[in-house]
């Protein structure tokens, strides 16, 4: 039993020694690679000089350059109860989509009842206004007549009644005075006759009584005149003047009340009219919404579902719910086609409007079509940003030339945007470049096999190879696995382009900077002239 135990201990010691020797070799190799001494022990690349194509390749979808998009105009979420089969040739007026409007139909019945009620209220308010106006005219006419009569009574009293009463009173006084004089003469004559005993005492007393009665009549007539002038006249005058003022104020009250009643009736009419118009507008809106539940073809063409060729969108089908303003059907309006692609932000600095493009359609192998960059969106695609916040894409349209009838909307394609053709360029793979202290550097394999760091000036790249403006010559050998230290970072075309985009992002019609998005930097890391 002692022999196996001793053999096991010997085996453990041998393994430990082997691990230490291997670790020491790795440390020695790492130090040699970092200082550029010794064999690079890695893949290399011989610097080439010749044609270099700088391009940006992206996948996309074939679309019509000019197409009519039909969207849902029905409010809220609604189910599709009929959807025309995609690819169907339609004529103007053909039904394309029908949405469920059964709920709106019930609302229409209820709203029709409300409209009828408001119409009845409107008619009642209109008739009430006419009655109020007629009543107001009648009340005002009666009040005006009372006022006019009061004024006439006052004028009649002043100009006719009182002068007549005054004349009658004065005549009464004169008549009484005449009768008094006659009674006085009669009495004097009777007294003389009594002295001569021609009449009796009784006859003389009768004449004396007549004299006294005539005297009283004179005093009464004079007092009546005094009462008429100093009391009756002023009282009756004030009564008539007060009656005139009262009827005038009554007339003003009637007019104000009539105006208020008319204003109230007019306000009620306006309110009923506004309510009726509101209910009619709601009914009309419901009718319009029901009509919008059916989408008809405004022109002839081939019906294409709006979701065709769109990523991250569920295909349209009957029973599916769609929202308001959601695109449903597209009708191409011309035979001119385009490819819709999305360019990442890192490649945006390379691409500008007017650049040539090669387009190949997946469904047509072996064929390629020419095109040009026609439009670059000003803002990134919101849908892609929402699905992946770290991915920034800009929708770009590539206008195709000379396409045949086999190219159809919705086909997937591959586009290659020709950024620049370099006929005689020095170039190396992008993995041969690193940044040392922020400056582009390549490690050249010397004759003795050591790695010599050399600063280079970079031009454009196509994510595979990068154009070397200066610093390397054709035939030199560079390491594809340059050593990495704390001050070194790999050369990443995407990150390099992103840094330049943040500094100077060209617009859709603005050319990229000379020398490329990352090119144009000299050996010192600054921009080349």
Calpha distance 247→264 (Å, rounded): 25
Q: Which of 290, 315, 350 finishes a domain?
A: 290
Residue 467 pLDDT greater than 70, yes or no? yes
- Evaluate whether 42 touches 481 at the Cβ level (below 8 Å): yes
When divided into structural domains, the chain yields a total of 3
- For 369-415, write each residue's pLDDT tens digit: 999 999 999 998 887 777 778 788 999 999 998 888 888 888 899 99
Same domain for 285 and 357, yes or no, is: no
Alpha-carbon span 54 to 417, nearest angstrom: 9
The answer to whether residue 265 sits within a structural domain is: yes
Residue 85 above 60 pLDDT? yes
Residue 80: which CATH number? Answer: 2.40.50.100
First to last CA, the chain: 82
Any domain includes 235: yes
> Are 144 and 247 contacting, i.e. CB atoms less than 8 angstroms apart?
no
**CATH label of the domain that carries residue 201:** 1.10.287
Indicate whether 241 and 339 sit together in one domain. Answer: no
Judgement on whether residues 431 and 515 belong to the same structural domain of the protein: yes
Helix (H, G, I), strand (E, B) or coil at 377: coil
Same domain, 457 and 395: yes
Q: What pLDDT does 278 receive?
A: 96
Instruction: Please tell me the predicted confidence (pLDDT) of residue 235.
Output: 94
In degrees rounded to 5, what are phi and psi of residue 376?
A: -125, 125
Which pLDDT does position 487 carry in this prediction? 73
In a domain, 495, yes or no: yes
Look at residue 279 and tell me if it is in a domain: yes
One domain, residues 96 and 45: no
Same structural domain for residues 109 and 179? yes
- Lookup result for tokens 């081939």: 302
Question: Which strands form 95-99's sheet, in the order they lie side by side?
Answer: 294-296, 95-99, 78-83, 321-322
DSSP result, 426-460: EEEEGGGEEEETTEEEEEEE-TTS-EEEEE-EEEE
DSSP β-ladder status, 439-445 and 433-436 = antiparallel
Give 141-164 pLDDT, tens digit per residue. 999 999 999 999 999 999 999 999
Cα–Cα distance for residue pair 467/307, rounded to 1 Å: 41
8 within some domain: no
pLDDT value of position 10? 43
pLDDT band, residue 74 (cuts 50/70/90): very high
- Residue 248 domain-assigned? yes
The token duo for 202 is: 């009784």
Q: Residue 251 belongs to what domain range?
A: 105-290
Residue 5 lies in a domain: no
Mark whether 471 and 500 lie in a shared domain.
yes
Q: Both 374 and 506 in a single domain? A: yes
* Conformational region of residue 301, where left means phi above 0, alpha means psi within -120 to 50, and beta covers everything else: left
Looking at residues 190-197, what average pLDDT do you find? Answer: 85
pTM across the whole model: 0.51
pLDDT, tens only, 405-437: 888 888 899 999 999 999 999 999 999 999 988
Structure tokens at 430: 């992008």
- 363 three-state secondary structure: coil
- Residue 471 forms part of a structural domain: yes
> Residues 88, 56: one domain?
no
DSSP state of 159: I
């Amino acid at each position: 039993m002692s022999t196996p135990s001793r053999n096991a201990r010997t085996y453990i010691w041998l393994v430990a020694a082997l691990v230490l020797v291997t670790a020491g070799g790795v440390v020695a190799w790492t130090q040699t690679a970092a200082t550029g001494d010794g064999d690079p022990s890695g893949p290399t690349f011989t610097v080439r000089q010749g044609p270099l194509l700088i391009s940006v390749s992206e996948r996309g979808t074939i679309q019509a350059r000019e197409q009519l998009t039909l969207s849902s105009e029905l409010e809220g979420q609604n189910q599709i109860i009929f959807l025309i089969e995609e690819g169907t040739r339609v004529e103007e007026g053909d039904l394309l989509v029908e949405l469920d409007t059964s709920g709106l139909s019930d609302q229409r019945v209820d709203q029709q009842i409300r409209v009828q009620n408001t119409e009845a209220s409107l008619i009642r308010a209109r008739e009430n206004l006419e009655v109020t106006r007629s009543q107001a005219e009648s009340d005002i006419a009666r009040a005006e007549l009372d006022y006019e009569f009061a004024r006439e009574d006052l004028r009649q009293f002043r100009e006719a009644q009182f002068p007549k009463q005054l004349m009658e009173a004065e005549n009464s006084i004169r008549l009484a005075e005449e009768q008094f004089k006659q009674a006085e003469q009669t009495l004097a004559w009777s007294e003389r006759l009594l002295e001569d005993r021609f009449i009796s005492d009784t006859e003389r007393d009768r004449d004396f009584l007549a004299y006294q009665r005539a005297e009283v009549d004179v005093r009464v007539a004079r007092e009546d005149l005094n009462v008429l002038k100093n009391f009756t006249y002023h009282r009756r005058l004030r009564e008539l003047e007060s009656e005139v003022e009262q009827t005038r104020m009554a007339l003003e009250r009637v007019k104000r009340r009539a105006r208020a009643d008319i204003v109230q009736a007019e306000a009620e009419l306006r309110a009923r009219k506004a309510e009726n118009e509101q209910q009619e507008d709601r009914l009309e809106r419901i009718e319009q919404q029901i009509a919008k539940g059916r989408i008809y073809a405004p022109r002839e063409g081939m019906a294409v579902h709006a979701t065709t060729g769109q990523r991250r969108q569920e295909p349209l089908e009957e029973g599916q719910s769609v929202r308001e303003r959601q695109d449903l059907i597209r009708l191409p309006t011309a035979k001119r086609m385009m490819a819709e692609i999305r360019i990442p932000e890192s490649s945006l600095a390379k691409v500008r409007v007017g650049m040539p493009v090669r387009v190949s359609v997946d469904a047509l192998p072996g064929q390629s079509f020419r095109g040009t960059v026609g439009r670059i969106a000003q803002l990134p695609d919101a849908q892609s940003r929402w699905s992946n916040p770290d991915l920034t894409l800009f929708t770009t349209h590539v206008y195709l030339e000379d396409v045949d009838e086999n190219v159809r909307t919705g086909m997937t394609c591959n586009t290659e945007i020709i950024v620049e053709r370099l006929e005689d360029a020095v170039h190396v793979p992008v993995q041969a470049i690193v940044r040392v202290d922020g400056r582009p550097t390549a490690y050249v394999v010397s004759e003795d096999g050591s790695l010599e760091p050399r600063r280079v000036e970079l031009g454009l790249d196509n994510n595979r190879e990068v154009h070397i403006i200066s610093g390397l010559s054709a035939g030199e050998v560079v390491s594809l696995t340059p050593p990495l230290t704390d001050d070194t970072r790999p050369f990443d075309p995407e990150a390099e382009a992103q840094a330049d985009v943040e500094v100077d992002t060209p617009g859709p019609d603005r050319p990229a900077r000379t020398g490329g998005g990352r090119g144009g930097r000299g050996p010192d890391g600054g921009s080349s002239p």
